[in-house]
Amino acid sequence: MALECSLDALRNLDQSDLDAVQALLDACTRTLLSPSLWLWALGLTAACAAIGALLGLAKGRWLWGLVWGAALGPLGWIVVLLSAAADRPCPECARLNPPGRKRCRHCGVDLAVAAARSSRSRLRDSTRSNEWR
């Protein structure tokens, strides 16, 4: 009869019988080193990482989502969902642009120049443009 690694087997183990202890230890080692267990663990980790990457892609941080999803699984998904988006708003039209972008993809303004201007100069520019219309 093959011994199985379970909590019942551990509870009913006679600790003074060294052969029984060794047999249970061997059974638990075989269970932990089983290829099917490792395939399940790797498959679940890959699935959690892929879902985390998809959630991170929506925030503009797919690699960050992949790492958190692989490391923590569903808890990593929550971390990704609660994080701030990597996209930054355009100072002129307030629409979101991906990080590292030089010009706004919506209005075409230079993002570095527009971010350096103060709100007062933007207000002054908007009143001037209304005068000429």
Confidence of residue 105 (pLDDT cuts 50, 70, 90): confident
Q: In this predicted model, what pLDDT tens digit does every residue of 63-79 receive, in sequence order?
A: 999 999 999 999 999 99
Q: What percent of the residues of the chain are helix, what percent strand, and what percent coil, each to the nearest 5?
A: 65, 5, 30
Q: What's the average model confidence in pLDDT over 36-55?
A: 95
Beta-carbon contacts of residue 21 (< 8 Å; ≥ 6 apart)? 13, 15
Q: What's the average model confidence in pLDDT over 100-119?
A: 80
**What per-residue confidence (pLDDT) applies to 68?**
95
Helix (H) or strand (E) holding 67: helix 62-72
- Contact of 48 with 76, CB cutoff 8 Å: yes
Average pLDDT for the chain:
85
Beta-carbon contacts of residue 54 (< 8 Å; ≥ 6 apart)? 62, 65
**pLDDT at residue 123 is higher than 60:** no
